[in-house]
């Protein structure tokens, strides 16, 4: 079934799998072609969006309910807005993902990454990196042309907010020019609570320790009805927003992600985008839902959000190529390492080096640009280092952890 309770297309494609998408989004160039075969109410929303007017919440839900030829129309409208807002340049960032522990006390029902006593024989051994190991991996990323490290992990039962402060300070002491893009709103919220600080105070301390920006993860779907099912003990939508507001108050930029295709549907996705807009049993989504999840935000957030990223780790090269034709203008990070999607069974991941990124971008007739975390052009020295990077060293995942009974829970 798809997000509207309708029968899924009979194709082998699945998010994270090896099979390419069943089809690329269609190409309708003129205004008349754009709305041909489209319901009148959807056509009106598309026409307004292409002219620069953001759709309202109900229209966003309507866009997410597009089917058949309507999906092509939504994607082409998003691609037209992409061309107007972002041009034909497609950006990417040379980054390294560092997941410093896979031990987590939370019980998110979708998570295949976290480890605890109940999953020791199911998904391998738990680990916890030392701060020295995190710094060493960050140094290697810098040597390979990286401009950022992206750090997140499980909520280890022994963690307090001091760990997050210490790891930022250690990286910045060694690599002052490396951008530290780290910590989900859940980690910020938990870290503040363990130190007896407000979210606002803790976020300011992280900034002073060297945190440069926040990933917008732990969002899942920003609808508390969905969250009550898939992550009942995680931060609420209001708490997630509070952390983002605290980051903005501290002068830290952030982004927002969405994890869709489980118990959610178009109404929940529209609610999620509404939250983002205010701030600024299924086997995953169908391919049309993936296209719409990239195309509709381009239409709904135009004028506020210029950069829409596609995850090549989740969708593969051909999936990313299709989404670049459906409103996206950014391929995200080269990564160097990726554990979370791989733990959940994704076939793609680990690293797409700059040469491969740029080959993909040029094959579409667009212009590649290596960027920083904040979407500025990367310095020439970083570009040279990235293109001349040596292979990554083989490493163990981290120090093995002996879990004490009752201190960590399974992430299943």
The string of pLDDT tens digits covering residues 21-57 is 777 776 765 666 788 889 999 999 999 999 999 999 9
| 374-378 mean pLDDT | 96
Burial class (CB in 10 A: 0-12, 13-18, 19+), 360: buried
Is residue 115 predicted with pLDDT exceeding 60? Answer: no
- 236 — phi, psi (to 5°)? -80, 170
Per-range mean pLDDT, top range of 68-77, 147-156, 356-365, 397-406:
356-365
- pLDDT value of residue 314: 87
Is residue 279's pLDDT more than 60?
yes
What is the pLDDT at residue 399?
57
**Cβ contacts of residue 287 below 8 Å, gap of 6+?**
9, 11, 13, 21, 22, 23
The torsion angles phi and psi of 193, rounded to 5 degrees, stand at -65, -40
Q: What is the pLDDT of residue 207?
A: 98
Q: Residue 148: pLDDT above 80?
A: yes
If one compares 378 and 257, the residue with the highest pLDDT of the two is 378
The token pair at 65 is 């309910």
Distances (CA, A) of 242 to 73, 203, 209: 36, 11, 21
CATH architecture of 89-400: Alpha-Beta Barrel (3.20)
Q: Say whether pLDDT at 17 is over 50.
A: yes
Cα–Cα distance measured from residue 191 to residue 311, given in angstroms and rounded to the nearest whole number = 28
pLDDT of residue 344: 41
Side-chain-side CA neighbours of residue 274 (13 Å): 15
Q: Which of 177, 96, 175, 107 is nearest to 129 (CA)?
A: 96
Question: Helix or strand or coil: residue 169?
Answer: helix
30 Cβ contact list (under 8 Å, min separation 6):
none
- The secondary structure of residue 325, as a DSSP letter, is T
Total number of residues shown for the chain: 412
Residue ranges of alpha helices (H) inside 301-379 are: 312-324, 340-343, 354-363
Percentage of residues in the chain having pLDDT higher than 70: 82
pTM: 0.78
Alpha-carbon gap, residue 182 to 122, rounded angstroms? 28
Please, which contacts does 358-361 make with residues 24 or more away whose CB atoms are closer than 8 Å?
360/317, 360/320, 360/321, 360/331, 361/90, 361/92, 361/324, 361/331
* Per-residue pLDDT band at 345 (split at 50, 70, 90): very low
> How do residues 77-98 score in pLDDT, each as one tens digit?
999 999 999 999 999 999 999 9
**Average pLDDT value for residue range 280-306:** 86
């Amino acid at each position: 079934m798809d997000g509207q309770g309708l029968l899924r297309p009979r194709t082998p494609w699945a998010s994270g799998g090896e099979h390419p998408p069943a089809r690329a989004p269609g190409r309708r160039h003129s205004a008349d072609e754009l709305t041909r075969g489209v319901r009148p109410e959807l056509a009106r929303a598309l026409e307004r969006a292409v002219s620069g007017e953001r759709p309202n919440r109900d229209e966003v839900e309507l866009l997410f309910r597009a089917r058949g030829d309507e999906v092509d129309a939504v994607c082409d409208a998003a691609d037209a807005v992409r061309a107007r807002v972002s041009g034909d340049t497609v950006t990417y960032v040379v980054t390294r993902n560092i997941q410093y522990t896979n031990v987590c006390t939370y019980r998110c029902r979708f998570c295949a990454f976290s480890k605890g006593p109940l999953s020791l024989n199911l998904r391998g051994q738990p680990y916890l990196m030392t701060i020295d190991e995190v710094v060493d991996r960050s140094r290697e990323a810098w040597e390979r042309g990286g401009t950022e490290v992206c750090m997140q992990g499980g909520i280890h039962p022994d963690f307090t907010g001091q760990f997050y402060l210490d790891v930022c300070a250690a990286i910045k002491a060694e690599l002052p020019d490396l951008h530290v893009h780290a910590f989900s709103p859940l980690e910020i919220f938990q870290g503040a609570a363990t130190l007896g600080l407000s979210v606002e105070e803790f976020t300011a301390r992280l900034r002073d320790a060297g945190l440069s920006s926040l990933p917008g993860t732990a969002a899942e779907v920003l609808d508390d009805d969905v969250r009550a099912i898939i992550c009942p003990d995680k931060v609420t939508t209001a708490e997630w927003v509070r952390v983002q507001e605290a980051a903005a108050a501290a002068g830290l930029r952030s982004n927002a992600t969405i994890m869709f295709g489980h118990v959610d549907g178009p109404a929940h996705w529209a609610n999620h985008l509404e939250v983002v807009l205010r701030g600024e049993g299924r086997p995953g989504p169908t391919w049309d839902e993936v296209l719409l999840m990239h195309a509709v935000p381009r239409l709904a957030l135009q004028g506020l959000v210029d950069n829409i990223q596609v995850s090549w780790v989740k969708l593969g090269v051909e999936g990313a190529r299709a989404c670049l034709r459906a409103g996206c203008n950014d391929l995200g990070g080269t990564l160097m390492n990726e554990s979370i999607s791989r733990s959940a069974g994704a076939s793609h991941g680990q690293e797409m080096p700059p040469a491969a990124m740029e080959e993909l971008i040029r094959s579409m007739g667009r212009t590649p640009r290596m960027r920083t975390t904040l979407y500025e052009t990367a310095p020439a020295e970083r570009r040279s280092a990235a293109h001349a990077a040596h292979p990554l060293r083989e490493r163990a995942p981290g120090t093995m952890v002996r879990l004490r009974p009752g201190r960590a829970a399974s992430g299943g």
